[in-house]
Structure 1
Amino acid sequence: MIITRHGEVFDEINPLTTGAAPDFQLTDLANHKVKLSELADPIIISIFPDINTSVCALQTKHFNVAAAENKAISFLSISNNTPEEQATWCAAEGVDMTILSDAKNEFGDLYGLFLPKAKLLARSVYVIKSGEIIYSEILSEITQEPDYDKALAVANAAIDTK
């Protein structure tokens, strides 16, 4: 898959879009280990290239608001910024959600989202339920925002009613 930036070829990846969601464990801003398989379903994973850019900030803020309003959904935000960069940004922006650092590109490699030339993660969103990817959006234009409403609709439809 070709990833563009402002319409120009930026990098190329082979992302995982369906099937089993590879389990991973990353560290959050409080230095706690967060493991995908230990989270309650459904799970929205918001992946962005760099927390210090405008579109990434918009994406993270949008899902932060959604996380506060949708307690039945587990939300993760992942970038390969350092935890210090993420914590500084969150403190400045008043964002309080689970943000994970993939500084070693473990998640990016598992999901095929690491942009080798740019050394960033491709902008994308996944919805996971019962260890399966039930929705994925990998943005071919890195400067575009994801379809928040679609991801939230899929996640809301996947909430178990008891």
Structure 2
Amino acid sequence: MTQERTGIAAFKGSPITLVGPELRPGDQAPDFVLSKNLLEDATLKDYSGKVKLISVVPSLDTGVCDAQTRRFNTEAAELGDEVVILTVSADLPFAQARWCGAAGIDRVITLSDYKENSFGTAYGVLIKEFKLDMRSIFVLDKNDKIVYVEYLAEMSEHPNYEAAINAVKALL
């Protein structure tokens, strides 16, 4: 049975249930299968040997998610080739591609968790009530060990961008 965590997160003040474990710094990052598009998947191994910042958003078509993805796209330019920034949402790959084109996003890789919500369940961010992934940040070293985690308590708030970027820079 999959673990459910209650009393730790909310959407506009209303409690929500997160499905999956609470990951912590020092944990080995779980593998995932996410959709690049309808025919092509991505796994953690595809980004082997790179520092990974995984920015999880409920949907790119919302204000905070839009701002979060734009911010990390800007930061990506200064972090260099040793770093990959992945934005994960349950949006369909078509919607992700359309949004990136309209927003001029060219440095962040968007990946979709729409098929089975397997990323959300493995990383403990699947919102049971909405079948979306909760806003969160994971920084993984080149060996896929988690060095930074931020699970937001309120879905509509921004993550701590500076702390996440500093965690990435500390690995370079």
Alignment: residue pair count: 159
> Structure 2: any 5+ residue segments left out of the alignment?
none
Q: Which residue is equivalent to 2:154?
A: 141
CA distance in 1, matches of 2:37, 2:159: 24
Q: Which residue is equivalent to 2:129?
A: 117
Report if the CA contact (8 A) 1:11-1:118 is conserved.
Answer: no
Counterpart amino acid of 1:4?
A: A
Counterpart amino acid of 1:91?
A: G
Q: Which residue is equivalent to 1:22?
A: 30
Structure 2 length-normalised TM: 0.85
CA distance in 2, matches of 1:85, 1:157: 33
1:88 has 2:108 as partner: no
1:36 has 2:44 as partner: yes
CA distance in 2, matches of 1:10, 1:38: 32
Counterpart amino acid of 1:16?
A: E
Shift of the 30–90 alpha-carbon distance from structure 1 to 2, 3 Å rule, reads: farther
1:3 has 2:14 as partner: no
> Structure 1: any 5+ residue segments left out of the alignment?
none
1:155 has 2:157 as partner: no
Aligned-pair RMSD on alpha carbons?
1.7
CA distance in 2, matches of 1:65, 1:153: 15
1:106 has 2:114 as partner: no
In the TM superposition, what whole-angstrom CA distance separates every residue of 1:7-63 from its partner, at most 9, and x where no partner exists?
222334454322110112323259543321232331100000011100000011011
Counterpart amino acid of 1:107?
A: F
Shift of the 87–38 alpha-carbon distance from structure 1 to 2, 3 Å rule, reads: closer
